[in-house]
Amino acid sequence: MKKGAIVLMLACVLAGFYMGMTLSGYGSTIVIENSGGNKLTEVFDIIESSYVDSADMDSMVEKCIPKIVSELDPHSVYIPAKDVEATNADLQSSFSGIGIRFTIQDDTIHISDVIRSGPSEKVGLLAGDRIVKVNDSLFVGKVCTNDAAMKRLKGPKGSFVKLGIKRYGEKDLLDFTIRRDEIPVESIEAAYMIDNRWGYVQIEKFAENTFAEFIKALALFLDNKAEGIIIDLRGNGGGYMGIALEMANQFLHRNDVILYTEGANVEKNIEKANGFGMFQQTPLVVLVDETSASASEIIAGTIQDNDRGTIIGRRTFGKGLVQQPFEFADGSVVRLTIARYHTPSGRCIQKPYTKGDSEGYNKDLLDRYNRGEFFSQDSIQQNDSLAYKTKKGRTVYGGGGIMPDIFVSSDTADLTKYSQKIFSSGMIAQYTLKYCDVNRRQLSKMKGYKDLDSYLSGKPLVEELVQFAKSRGISPNREEINKSYKVLQRSIHSNIIYQIQGMLEHVKYINLDDPTVLKAVEVLEKGEAFP
């Protein structure tokens, strides 16, 4: 028999063999009748009832749901039960813990701040202390991560934790036993008067207690007869929409539209101001940047569309989708996008996205930077088909964040490759922490940021930083150091002010030469803030 005929015969035999395996006996096709369900649940039912081995159905579902939800939009998300508490903690009004702020440096917990009247202050912990033992177990090295530290230090109210503390100047470890208590989570850490005329408030997020904190800030401005208000929403990634609505209401006239929401399964809902706001006539400026998102954009959008104030900064993030949590019996949660929100003029500021392409969506800010958008307003291409009109007829655009009325570029003029290495390596935080350890007693005598800044200006801190960085592998570049001298010095000073005097004095200091804040003050002084 010829070779070709033999090959053909073998092929036919094998084909028949495999076809027989597929079609005979238990391998015959079973037709699934239309049960009224969907294909996914039917697949799970088939696996559970017919698969050759036992299958971990719960594990399969946990892996499947995130993939399904991620195909919807960038902000719909599945949260496993074990992660829900940590995910929600940032927006809650309090948590149970020991009352410190800390950083991880050299694989050790460094206490950067002790919360006033909290459990740690009551037993005598100090800023600058290092936690090296937790409940008699050594807690340094690779095990000392931020998540691990939070888990060990947090705990039920009334429970105790024992800490071994290394304090500068003390030879032996100090032991402290601390009873955990409720620790308030503040979302407004800076509210003060600029030049005794302008109220300034920096809002970090929109959490459960943010509106109550905001009212305290407004009361401070009333007491000081503020002639205008600056609301700083830069870096504010959002939070609860209802809180943003309450805050916007303080500045709008009765029946001014704050926003409206609608979706395929959600009826259109219009939110309006009730007319009881305390500052309906006060000149207003809102500061934003590319990291101002969601609830921050609600406030910026309604102030802009109602011609109620001036928006200053850079184009915001562009999140115009509304999520609602749906909780399962096991405690896991799906945060599902149920609607889009629209500013009073009718624009949706959600930036474009491709379903399932979270990587491309998250890369958008980097793309904006590379296009030069952080440095030039002219690099931003607006879509004329998405043009809308404010109450007074000014043109605004949808489809990608809130474009400010006054653009302020990112200030990078004094940055060099050397200074970027210093900042990205965390070298300033490490240096200032050690500097404060050695000099804390003297530094703590200073009253306010002005005294401390003046004292620090007489010290060779930049040169000390350069040598500190050199000892850790960053070679000096004298020409670049000279060019970046002022920005390095101010960063050193601001870090020391924060560690010694806290967030409020720190913000006051950095605002002294913040271009966006200075532009806001200029607009208010000229009476150009749309009163």
Give the C-alpha distances (Å, rounded to integers) separating 180 from 155, 162, 372, 474.
7, 11, 48, 41
The sign of the dihedral angle between the CA atoms of 469, 473, 475, 480 is: negative
- Strand pairing report for 333-342 and 174-179: unpaired
Where helices occur in 339-391 by DSSP H, the ranges are 358-362, 364-371
**By CB neighbour count within 10 A (0-12 exposed, 13-18 middle, 19+ buried), where does 198 fall?**
buried
Q: What is the model's pLDDT at position 23?
A: 45
- For 406, the token pair is 């006054």
- Running along the chain, 531 residues long, what does each successive block of 10 average in pLDDT? 54 50 58 73 88 90 91 94 83 83 87 86 89 94 90 91 90 94 89 98 95 97 98 96 97 97 95 96 97 97 97 96 94 95 95 87 88 87 88 91 95 90 89 90 94 97 97 95 96 95 95 97 94 55
Q: Are residues 217 and 304 in the same domain?
A: yes
Same domain (yes/no): 402, 254: yes
- Shared domain check, 169 and 272: no
Place of tokens 């991560």: 145
Longest Cα separation, the chain: 108
Q: Is 443 inside a domain boundary?
A: yes
> Is 43 domain-assigned?
yes
In the prediction, which pLDDT does 37 show?
67
Which domain range does residue 358 map to? 190-410
Query: Are both 382 and 460 inside the same structural domain?
Result: no
Q: Which of 410, 429, 452 is the last residue of a domain?
A: 410
Residue 406 makes CB contacts below 8 A (sequence gap 6+) with 310, 311, 312, 313, 519, 523
What was the pLDDT predicted at 126?
Answer: 86
User: Would you say 207 and 90 are in contact if contact means Cβ atoms under 8 Å apart?
Assistant: yes
Per DSSP, what are the bridge partners of residue 193? 199
Give the Cα separation of 310 and 229 in Å (integer).
11
- If asked whether residues 425 and 514 sit together in one domain, one would say yes
Does residue 493 form part of some domain?
yes
DSSP assignment of 518-531 = HHHHHHHHTT-S--
Q: Distance between CA 297 and CA 322 in Å, rounded?
A: 12
Residue pair 436/128 in contact (Cβ under 8 Å)? The answer is yes
Q: Is residue 425 part of a domain?
A: yes
| Nearest residue to 505 via CA among 514, 513, 494, 515 | 494
Domain end position, chosen among 359, 387, 410: 410
| Token digits of residue 351 | 């930036």
- Tally the domains of the chain: 4
| Residues 273/254, Cβ–Cβ less than 8 Å | yes
Per the CB < 8 A criterion, the answer to whether 190 and 202 are in contact is yes
Interacting residues of 509 by C-beta distance below 8 A, sequence separation 6+? 449, 453, 493, 494, 497
Strands (E), 116-246: 130-134, 137-138, 160-166, 174-179, 181-184, 190-194, 198-202, 228-232
Same domain, 402 and 451: no
Q: Which of 410, 429, 455 is the last residue of a domain?
A: 410
Asked whether residue 242 falls in the same domain as residue 317, the answer is: yes
Q: Which residues are catalytic?
A: 294, 305, 319
Q: What is the pLDDT of residue 5?
A: 56
CA gap 443, 502 in Å, rounded? 13
Domain holding 273: CATH number?
3.90.226.10
- Domain presence at residue 3: no
Are 181 and 155 in contact, with CB atoms under 8 Å apart?
A: no
DSSP codes of every residue in 48-68: HHH-SS---HHHHHHHHHHHH
Does residue 60 form part of some domain? yes
Token digits of residue 168:
């500068």
* The amino acid at 16: G
In a domain, 527, yes or no: no
Check if the beta carbon of residue 402 is closer than 8 Å to that of residue 315.
yes
Based on the domain organization, do 238 and 267 belong to the same domain?
Answer: yes
Assign residue 118 the CATH number of its domain. Answer: 2.30.42.10
Residue 89 lies inside a defined structural domain of this protein: no
215 and 163 belong to one structural domain: no
Place of tokens 């024992």: 162
pLDDT attached to residue 16: 52
Same domain? 364 vs 496: no
Strands (E), 355-499: 387-389, 395-397, 406-407
Same domain, 367 and 256: yes
Question: Are residue 281 and residue 403 in the same domain, yes or no?
Answer: yes
> Could you give the C-alpha distances from 366 to 229, 312, 370, in angstroms and in order?
32, 21, 6
> 171: burial class by Cβ within 10 Å (0-12, 13-18, 19+)?
exposed
As a whole number of angstroms, the distance between CA 514 and CA 182 comes to: 35
- Radius of gyration over every alpha carbon of the chain, rounded to an integer in angstroms: 29
Report phi then psi at 341, rounded to 5: -105, 150
